Amino acid sequence: QKGNAKISMAVIRRLPKYRRYLAELLDRGVHRISSRELSKIIGFTASQIRQDLNNFGGFGQQGYGYNVAALYEAIGKILGLDRKYNTIIVGAGNLGQAIANYTNFEKSGFIPKAMFDINPKLIGLKIRDIEIIDADKMEEYIKENNVDIGIICTNKEQAQAVADRLVKSNIKGIWNFAPTDLDVPEKVMLENVHLSESLYTLSFLLKHNRID
């Protein structure tokens, strides 16, 4: 397997989709698939698929196609899904609680350790078995519990201050749901989920009746 250093972000962003389709194939008992067949179900061109998967070398064979299980596993490894991550949710409102209630992230190795909030009415409550702790105790908790990822679900006015505190506590990654662009040092990995941007894109498609 080649090193991953030069793989472009565009390829990396396609990997979860490959993995999702491969999981479906595995569920259906499909053990091997050609890039042409994969192209039909996934919607990328066969040459795009070959090019993407060539980055990791050795999974496709002329006349055989891809070994679905091997490719699924390899992509999981490349994505770092072969390990566990300790996570905390900061902001235990509607969205924070919804994420805490969603058990699938846990199945993929993202372990929700605790939630933090400043609202005294929420502190002490549990979502499933995940406790909502006073945000004042966040730094201490991160250090003591080897937290890897902070999930920001506060209102946007508070998000940067929360990010600064996570950074100071040596968090490795931030998954930000607040609709604001955060400023974090390069050593901290940041991924934003701006649901409203996706929704407004849908609005555009509806308005202009675009089907491509």
List interacting residues with ligand NAI (CB under 6 A). 90-96, 116-119, 122, 135, 153-156, 158, 162, 177-179, 195-196
Q: Which is nearer to ligand NAI, 75 or 90 (CB)?
A: 90
Which residue's C-beta sits nearest to ligand NAI? 93
Residue 203 Cβ vs ligand NAI, minimum distance, rounded to whole Å: 15
CB of 55 to ligand NAI, least distance (A): 33
Which of 93/109 has CB closer to ligand NAI? 93
Q: What is the smallest separation between the CB atom of 44 and ligand NAI, expressed in angstroms?
A: 28
* Dist. CA 163–CA 47, nearest whole Å: 40
Of 103, 75, 84, 83, the C-alpha closest to 16 is 75
| Cα(26)–Cα(15) distance, integer angstroms | 16
Least distance between ligand NAI and beta carbon 59 (Å): 37
Between 15 and 152, CB nearer to ligand NAI: 152
DSSP assigned state of 202 = H
Minimum Å gap between C-beta 154 and ligand NAI is: 4
- As a residue count, the chain comes to 212
- Encoding tokens for residue 34? 């050609």
User: What single-letter DSSP state applies at residue 83?
Assistant: S
Query: Which of 35/160 has CB closer to ligand NAI?
Result: 160
| DSSP string across 134-150 | EGGGHHHHHHHTT--EE
Minimum distance, C-beta of residue 157 to ligand NAI, in the bound complex (Å): 8
What is d(CA 104, CA 47) in angstroms, rounded to the nearest whole number? 32
Per the CB < 8 A criterion, the answer to whether 136 and 77 are in contact is no
3 vs 120, beta carbon nearer ligand NAI: 120
* Rg of the chain over all Cα atoms, to the nearest angstrom: 20
Handedness of CA 71, 73, 75, 78 (dihedral sign): negative
C-beta of 69 vs 118, nearer to ligand NAI: 118
